[in-house]
Structures are given as structure tokens and as C-alpha cells.
């Protein structure tokens, strides 16, 4: 029988925060699942998809803001640090919270996949699990590789209990607490 090893983080979260503060502006660091991650710099299509979603959110829920790259405390006991592509929360929700804000009050985390080798592990598993552990009600993954939207909902004990996916082009109803409708035909224009 092989002994189980205990997962140990690469460093303390306080050490990570110090390292992240010292990093050059061109480098975005995250601390997910006890490991330091370098978040890829988004390409132009990534930015266009984010702007599309931002406009939809502003039109349908003007009292909410889709905050780009807001640092969040995630995972069990808030020991992780993630920078979702978007964090949907009430206007001015993050005022006074600093670089790494508590995730309480965030209604939905959004990630748009990048074309890099770590996307499968990072966006489809580790960040999903971190957002669930932080009890963010919804996680929307805009998966450019698969030309799909994937919505994770109903966090419970560190996992999302429900997962629904739609191909680009479908009409997607994002449920409460967000309550918006996404007409995703435009995303077909961004498929590579």
C-alpha cells in the first residue's frame, strides 16, 4: 500500500501576496490550489468577448458591474488567490477592499479560455473548484476551444452541483442571482 501524501502549498498565501505585489505590471500572478500560476495575457479576441459580455451585463443589470481582473480570495478558508477575467458584483462592491478582495458578494465569476497548454487544468478544473469552495453562486466559462458556454451553479461543499453547457449561437438564460439572457450568436464571429 502506498502512503498518501499531503498536499502542501508552494508557499504561504502571505508570501504569495508579497511576490504578486513585486511582480512587473506585465505579469499577472494567481495562487490556485497551492501553486503559483502565471495568468496569460489576453489576446484581442479574448478582449472582444469580454467587452461583449460587459455590454450585455450593463444593459440588462445596470446596478451590477463586471469587474475585469479583480483579485479574489478563493478556495477553502480563502487560501487561494485568483484573478477571474470578470467578477460580477454590485456597483462599488470592491471599494476599499484592496488587491485581493473577499469573494463574498460576488454573484458570478467569468473565465474566457486562452489558447495555452494550461487552460484545461486552470480554467476547467482548478479555478472552477476554487470558485465553488468560495461559494460564488455561478461560474461562467466561455470556452473558446470547444465553442461552448459552460455554466456551473449551486456550490455545495467545494463543488458545483450543476453544470450546463450550450454551443455558441444558443440563447442562454443565466439564472438568479444574475438573471440575464445571453444571445450568443455574436460569439460565432470570435471562433478561430
Domain spans, the chain: 43-190
Q: What integer pLDDT is reported at residue 6 of this predicted model?
A: 44
Which option is the CATH number for 43-190: 3.40.190.10, 3.90.226.10, 3.90.1570.10, 3.40.50.620? Answer: 3.90.1570.10
Q: Is the pLDDT of residue 191 over 90?
A: no
pLDDT digit string, tens, across residues 36-92: 676 666 678 989 999 999 999 999 999 999 999 899 998 765 578 888 999 999 999
For range 126-142, the mean pLDDT: 93
In which band, very low, low, confident or very high, does the pLDDT at 118 lie, cut at 50, 70 and 90?
low
Higher-confidence residue of 11 and 72: namely 72
pTM: 0.80
SS3 letters for the chain?
Answer: CCCCCCCCCCCCHHHHHHHHHHCCCCCEEEEECCEEEEECCCCHHHHHHHHHHHHHHHHHCCCEEEEECCEEEECHHHCEEECCCEEEEECCCCCCCCCEEECCCCCEEEEECCCCCCHHHHHHHHHHHHHHHCCCCEEEEEECCCCEEEEEEEEECCEEEEEEEEECCCEEEECCCCCEEEEHHHHHHHCC
Specify the range with the lowest mean pLDDT, choosing from 45-49, 120-124, 162-166.
120-124
For a pLDDT cut of 90, what percent of the chain falls above it?
58
Amino acid at each position: 500500500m502506498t502512503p498518501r501524501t499531503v498536499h502542501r502549498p508552494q508557499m504561504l498565501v502571505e508570501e504569495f501576496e508579497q511576490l504578486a505585489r513585486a511582480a512587473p505590471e506585465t505579469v499577472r500572478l494567481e495562487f490556485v490550489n497551492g501553486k503559483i500560476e502565471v495568468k496569460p495575457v489576453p489576446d484581442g479576441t479574448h478582449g472582444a468577448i469580454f467587452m461583449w459580455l460587459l455590454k450585455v451585463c450593463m444593459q440588462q443589470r445596470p446596478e451590477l458591474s463586471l469587474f475585469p481582473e479583480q483579485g479574489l480570495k478563493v478556495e477553502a478558508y480563502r487560501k487561494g488567490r485568483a484573478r477571474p477575467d470578470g467578477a460580477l458584483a454590485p456597483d462599488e462592491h470592491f471599494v476599499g477592499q484592496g488587491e485581493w478582495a473577499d469573494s463574498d458578494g460576488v454573484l458570478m465569476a467569468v473565465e474566457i479560455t486562452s489558447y495555452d497548454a494550461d487552460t484545461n487544468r486552470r480554467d476547467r478544473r482548478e479555478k472552477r473548484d476554487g470558485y465553488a469552495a468560495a461559494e460564488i453562486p455561478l461560474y461562467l466559462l466561455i470556452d473558446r476551444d470547444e465553442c461552448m458556454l459552460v455554466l456551473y451553479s449551486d456550490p455545495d461543499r467545494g463543488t458545483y452541483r450543476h453544470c450546463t453547457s450550450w454551443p455558441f449561437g444558443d440563447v442562454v438564460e443565466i439564472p438568479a442571482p444574475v438573471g440575464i439572457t445571453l444571445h450568443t450568436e455574436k460569439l460565432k464571429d470570435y471562433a478561430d
